Every structure is written in structure tokens, then in C-alpha cells.
Amino acid sequence: MAPPRSAFGASPPGGASRTRNSPCGLFLADERQQRPRCWQRQRTGGAGSAVSAWLRRALFGVVLAGSLQTVAAGEGRTPQPVVEKAKAGTQCVAPPDVMRRSHMDFLKHQRDDTVHGGIRGARFSLRGCIECHASSKTGSVNQSETNFCVSCHSYAAVKIDCFGCHTGKPGTAVAQGAPK
């Protein structure tokens, strides 16, 4: 015996999924009783919808123009870190964009060479970085918010763990308060 059907040919809740007739032709009805496309509410085009579409476009244009003016003026939404310049007359071991992207890899590799191989004073040593980038005001790379290391690391929300053991001042062998 066939299951009972409603007036439009859909099976009752929990019925089997089949293709059935509807007022607008065939459609697939699943267990949740999907409606055929012809039953869905159609949007009507009228004066109200034309006005709201025009207002949306105008608002989008105003927002876009404002953001382009901000970008053209060189002002971004996010403030950039303030980085003190290195010592005058010195050249960095790599271009700035390479150092920004990969300095932590260089330092880790140099750390492994120093700890495991005893190789000190190589090209990417922490001591070399500190000697060039120590602030002229504080004499350190990690004492104030504008110092070289702290400025970018606080901007990027990255913890600096180098200076728990190492000093941030040039010319000193052991960090202040670090075990000897």
C-alpha cells in the first residue's frame, strides 16, 4: 500500500524521499518537506527596493572614498612600531626585509652552532646585533618600548626570551641578575 499524500503530493513527515508532483512541476522532497521553488517568496521590485539599492551603493562609495584618502595620506588603521636606527656607518649582515622575516632562524642556527660546535662570533651572533642596535639613549636593545628589539616584538605580540640569560647591553658578558 502506498503512503498517504497531502494535497500537493508531498509525503507526511518521516516519509521516504522521492520525486513528486507539485503545482509547478517535479521537485525532490526529503524528510524535512522542502518546498518547491515556486512556493518560495519572490522579491518584488518596487520604488522602495530601488531607493534602498541606491542608498547602499552611495554609502559604499562614501566608505570606499574615505578609505582611499586614508591610504593615500600614508596613514593606516594600525600604528607602526617606532624603531631606532642602528649605529651610523654600519651595514647590517642582511637586507632589512630578510632580517625582519628570518632573524629568529638565523639566531637559532647560530645558537645551535655555538652550543653544539663551539663556534662563536660568526656572522649572525646575538652579540653583533646588540652592538649595532643598542639605543644611544638607554644603551640597550630591551630596556624601553622604543628600543630595537622591544619595539617590534611588542608590536607583533611576541615574547622575547633571549634576555633571560643574555644581556641587552653591548660589551657586558652576563645579564644583570642571571646566574653566573
CA dihedral 103, 104, 109, 110 (to 10 degrees): 70
So what's the pLDDT on residue 98? 93
What grid cell was written down for 11?
A: 509525503
Burial class of residue 30 in the structure, from the number of CB atoms within 10 Å of its CB (0-12 exposed, 13-18 middle, 19+ buried) = exposed
Amino acid code (one letter) for 24: C
pLDDT at 102: 93
Q: How far is the CA of 44 from the CAs of 39, 49, 73, 74, in angstroms?
A: 14, 8, 43, 45
Q: What is the pLDDT of residue 31?
A: 44
DSSP state for residue 88 in the 8-state scheme:
T
Query: Per-residue confidence of the chain (180 residues) as pLDDT tens digits?
Result: 555 555 555 555 555 444 455 555 444 555 445 555 555 555 555 556 677 788 888 888 888 777 666 555 555 677 788 888 888 888 888 998 999 899 999 999 998 988 898 888 788 888 888 988 999 889 999 988 888 899 989 888 999 888 888 889 988 755 555 554
